[in-house]
């Protein structure tokens, strides 16, 4: 059974205006992301755009795009509308690949889709990898997760979890063992759940942590987590990130 990759893309970005259209070695960033996703086993890769400029840029480079409303409050709302445009059935699998991940590993996309297919009790799937440094563990920009024994998520937080009570008594000097897990921002959904998700009331803990996936847990849905040892490719949030990625795509001298 195939799956659909949806890539939400919006022009507004406080730190990097017109981010989806940022040039990376001659191609818009969102096109670079789509090209990586097309190397996965997806049956189709579609950009969910909030602007005709994004849709036109995709069309010029052979990437399929659907135009969605510009006023969606979140990426999941945009993807829910895209599911309607594409006529996806309730059990169809969707993988949400962020539009600022031009280095996304196609194998990771496949793994997230396969995990959701294998776990019928889960409404969503995602990924995580072991944290290697105390600095990363303490950063509120790094989302952490803890899992049940069956690989389903217990919680996600910007705080350093799990908290090593005895080892951290004098401050965080070392990581707990086993290593804590960093959440990777890729999601698998069943299309029916994705259409329902934006209509679910926000969870208080979601607002507190500013983590949308906590809404699913708060409403009793399960999230299966694929743990990979591979460090995910760098995303693009700032002009500095963009320059770093551009250097990686630059031809060798």
HEC string for 182-228:
EEEEEEEEEHHHHHHHHHCCCCHHHHHHCCCHHHHHHCCCCEEEEEC
What mean pLDDT is predicted for residues 85-105?
A: 94
Per residue in 49-75, pLDDT tens? Answer: 999 999 999 999 999 999 999 888 888
Q: Give Dmax (Cα) for the chain.
A: 58
> For residue 5, what are the β-bridge partners?
45, 95
- Confidence (pLDDT) at 72: 87
- Confidence (pLDDT) at 250: 82
> For residue 8, what are the β-bridge partners?
48
> For residue 224, what are the β-bridge partners?
125, 152
Cis omega before residue 162 (within 30°)? Answer: yes
Task: Check pLDDT > 90 for residue 171.
Answer: no
Q: Who contacts 204 (Cβ-Cβ below 8 Å, separation ≥6)?
A: 218
Q: Token pair for residue 241?
A: 């990130």
Average pLDDT across the chain, whole number: 93
Q: Token pair for residue 172?
A: 């965080």
Select the more confidently predicted residue: 33 or 170: 33
Domain boundaries defined on the chain: 4-232
Of 225, 222, 146, 226, whose CA–CA distance to 178 is shortest? Answer: 146
Select the more confidently predicted residue: 169 or 120: 120
Length in residues, the chain = 253
pLDDT band at 253 (very low <50, low <70, confident <90, very high): low
C-alpha to C-alpha distance for 222 and 220, rounded to whole angstroms: 7
Give CATH superfamily name and number for 4-232.
Spore Coat Polysaccharide Biosynthesis Protein SpsA; Chain A (3.90.550.10)
């Amino acid at each position: 059974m195939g799956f659909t990759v949806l890539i939400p893309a919006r022009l507004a970005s406080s730190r990097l205006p017109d981010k989806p259209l940022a040039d990376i070695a001659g191609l818009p960033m969102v096109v670079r992301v789509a090209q990586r996703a097309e190397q996965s086993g997806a049956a189709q890769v579609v950009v969910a755009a909030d602007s005709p400029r994004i849709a036109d840029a995709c069309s010029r480079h052979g990437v399929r795009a659907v135009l969605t409303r510009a006023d969606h409050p979140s990426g999941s709302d945009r993807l829910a509308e895209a599911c309607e445009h594409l006529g996806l059935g309730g059990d169809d699998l969707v993988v949400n690949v962020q539009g600022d991940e031009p280095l996304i590993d196609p194998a990771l996309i496949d793994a997230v889709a396969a995990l959701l297919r294998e776990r019928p009790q889960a409404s969503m799937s995602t990924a995580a990898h072991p944290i290697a440094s105390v600095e990363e563990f303490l950063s509120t920009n790094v989302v952490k997760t803890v899992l049940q024994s069956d690989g389903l998520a217990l919680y996600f937080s910007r705080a350093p979890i799990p908290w090593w009570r005895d080892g951290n008594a004098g401050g965080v000097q070392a990581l707990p063992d086993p290593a804590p897990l960093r959440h990777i921002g890729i999601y698998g959904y069943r299309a029916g759940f994705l259409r329902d998700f934006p209509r679910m009331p926000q969870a208080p803990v979601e607002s507190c942590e500013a983590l949308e996936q906590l809404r699913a847990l708060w409403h009793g849905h399960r999230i299966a987590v694929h743990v990979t040892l591979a460090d995910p490719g760098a995303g693009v949030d700032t002009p500095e990130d963009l320059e770093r990625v551009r250097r990686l795509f630059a031809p060798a001298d």
